[in-house]
Amino acid sequence: MSSRTQSAIIWPENYLPGTTDNFVSNERIEKGITASQIWKLLNDITKWQTYYRNCDQVQAPASGSHLQEGDVFHFSTFGFPVLESTVRESVALTPGLAGRLAWSAGLEGDADTAVSVYHAWLVEDLDGGRVRVLTQESQCGRPAADLASSLPNRMLLGHQDWLNGLVAAARGAHLKAETNLSSVGLDAYARVPRQGES
What are the structural domains of the chain? 19-188 (3.30.530.20)
Q: Per-residue confidence of the chain (198 residues) as pLDDT tens digits?
A: 445 678 999 999 999 999 999 999 999 999 999 999 999 999 999 999 999 988 889 999 999 999 999 999 999 888 778 889 999 999 999 988 999 999 999 999 999 999 999 999 999 999 999 999 999 999 999 999 998 998 998 899 999 999 999 999 999 998 777 777 777 776 655 554 444 544
**Cα–Cα distance measured from residue 43 to residue 54, given in angstroms and rounded to the nearest whole number:** 17
Which residue(s) pair with 56 in the sheet?
76
Type of residue at 139: Q
Q: What is the pTM of this model?
A: 0.89
End-to-end C-alpha distance for the chain, whole angstroms: 35
